Amino acid sequence: MKKIAALTMARNESYFLAKWLEYYGAQLGEDNLYVFLDGEDQPLPPNTQAHVQRCPKIEAKRTAFDKVRMAFLSEQAALLFQQGYEVVIGCDTDEFLVIDPNCHTSLAAYLSQVALPGSLSGLGVDVGQHLTQETAIDWTQPFLQQRSYALLSTRYTKPVILGKPLRWGSGFHRVKGNNFHIDPNLYVFHFGGFDKAYLESKYTDKERMQAGWEAHIGRRLKTSQLVTQKTPVAADKVMNRVRTMQTYLRKPFAWNKPSMMGFKCVITLPERFKHIL
C-alpha cells in the first residue's frame, strides 16, 4: 500500500472541516491528514490525530488570497513528498474524493495501484439542494442521504491527486504546466452549494463580504437553482459520456482544464453512493 496524505486549508468552516477529517481519516488514517488553519484566531478541531497548524491569516481579496493559498499548499505537498509520501490529495474542506463503490475496493487501495501520470482528477459532482423537495441540511446525518441531485461540473473535475510535486492553480482547478487526466472510477463530490440556508448565512459574514466573496457565493447558489429547475437524468446513463466530453473539450487559453461548452447536466445520484458521505 502506498503512503498517501491529504491536505487542506480552512477558515471559519468548522462543520465542513469536521466532515473532511471524518471522511479522509477513515480513508487514509488521521495521522496522514494535514490541516492548515488560516489565522491564529482559528479554533483547533477537537479529538483528532491529524496534523493541524495555525498559520498567519492571509490578508487579501478572494482572487489574490487563493493564489497565495495555493502556492502555500503546493509547497506543503512538495514537503510531504520529501517526507516519504507517494501520493498527496489536496482539496477544500467541502470536497471529497470518492471511489465508485462498484470497484469494491478502498480509496487508498485504488490509489496504490492506479497509474499516476503526475496528477489525476475525479469527475466533478456538484451536489445541490432541490428547493421544493429537500429541506435544510442536518449536519449530524450523512449528506447523501439528504441530497439526491447534482450537477456534473467541470469546476469540480479537479486534479486533486498528485503523484509528484507539482503546482496547483487557484482553487485546485488545474495543475500549472501539466495535462489533466480524469480517472474512470473516481469522483470529486462538492458540497459547497448543497444547502441554501447555509450559503445565505455567509452574506452576513462581514469579513467574507469585504474580501469579495459575494459573487462567488452567488455562483454556488445557482447549483440549487439548476437542480430544482432542470429534469435530472440517471447518473450512470451519462457519466461516461460527460467524462469523455470533459477530456476532449478544452478552451484554447486553458488547455489543462476541462470544458463542457456550456452544457448543463443535472443527475440523480446513484443509490450506491448514499452510504459514503
Q: Do residues 156 and 126 touch, judged by C-beta distance below 8 A?
A: yes
All three cell numbers of 248: 476532449
Q: What pLDDT is attached to residue 76?
A: 98
pLDDT > 70? residue 216: no
Q: Given a cut of 60, is residue 183 above it in pLDDT?
A: yes
Distance, in Å, from the CA atom of 168 to the CA atom of 69, rounded to the nearest integer, reads 10
Res 32: pLDDT: 98
User: What is the rounded distance in angstroms from the CA atom of residue 122 to the CA atom of residue 135?
Assistant: 28
| pLDDT tens per residue across span 19-54 | 999 999 999 999 999 999 999 999 999 999 999 999
What distance in Å separates the CA atoms of residue 62 and residue 172, rounded to the nearest whole number?
Answer: 14
- Return the number of other C-beta atoms located less than 10 Å from residue 202's C-beta: 15
pLDDT of the residue at 222: 86
Share of the chain above pLDDT 90, in %: 71
Number of domains the chain is built from? 1
Question: What is the reported pLDDT for 208?
Answer: 62
Spatial neighbors of 163 by CB under 8 A, at least 6 apart, are 86, 87, 116, 117, 118, 119, 120
List, in sequence order, every residue forming a beta bridge with 87; answer none if it has no partner.
4
Q: Name which residue leads in pLDDT, 110 or 176.
A: 110
Q: Would you say residue 66 has pLDDT above 90?
A: no
Torsions phi, psi for 136 (to 5 deg): -60, 150
Q: Which three cell numbers stand for residue 199?
A: 450559503
For the chain, state the CA radius of gyration.
18
Q: What range defines the domain where residue 139 resides?
A: 4-273
* Averaged confidence pLDDT in the chain: 91
What pLDDT does residue 259 have?
A: 74
